[in-house]
Amino acid sequence: MAYCRNCGTQIDDDAAFCPDCGASQGNANPPVADNGGFLWGLLGCCIPIAGFILFLVWKDTKPKTAKAAGIGVIVGIVLAILGYIVGLVIMVMICWVICNGWS
């Protein structure tokens, strides 16, 4: 249960207004911009370490943005691994062609 910010009457946690005095029960903290920004995901993708740190910093205060950064980190790591594997395969193929020719 929560208490009215104006008169202290016990009210529902999610009540927007106090049923007793009618005072607005807006969140005590000013609303933070938590829009799950695509750019933060992109940052996490490009710089997984930075994205991971942002994820840890924001996971409580900005869950959506933290999630976007976290997904970016995962995508970035997966892309890095895929890039590494593809690069390795291409290198092996090039070496194979150099050593054995096309036939």
6 scored as a contact of Zn ion (CB under 5 A): yes
64 scored as a contact of Zn ion (CB under 5 A): no
46 scored as a contact of Zn ion (CB under 5 A): no
The CA-atom distances, in angstroms, between 98 and each of 55, 85, 92, 93, 102 are 45, 20, 10, 9, 8
The H-assigned helical ranges of 1-103 are 38-46, 48-58, 63-100
Q: Which of 10, 12, 15, 21 binds Zn ion (CB under 5 A)?
A: 21
18 scored as a contact of Zn ion (CB under 5 A): yes
Give residues in contact with Zn ion (CB under 5 A).
Answer: 4, 6-7, 9, 18, 20-21, 23
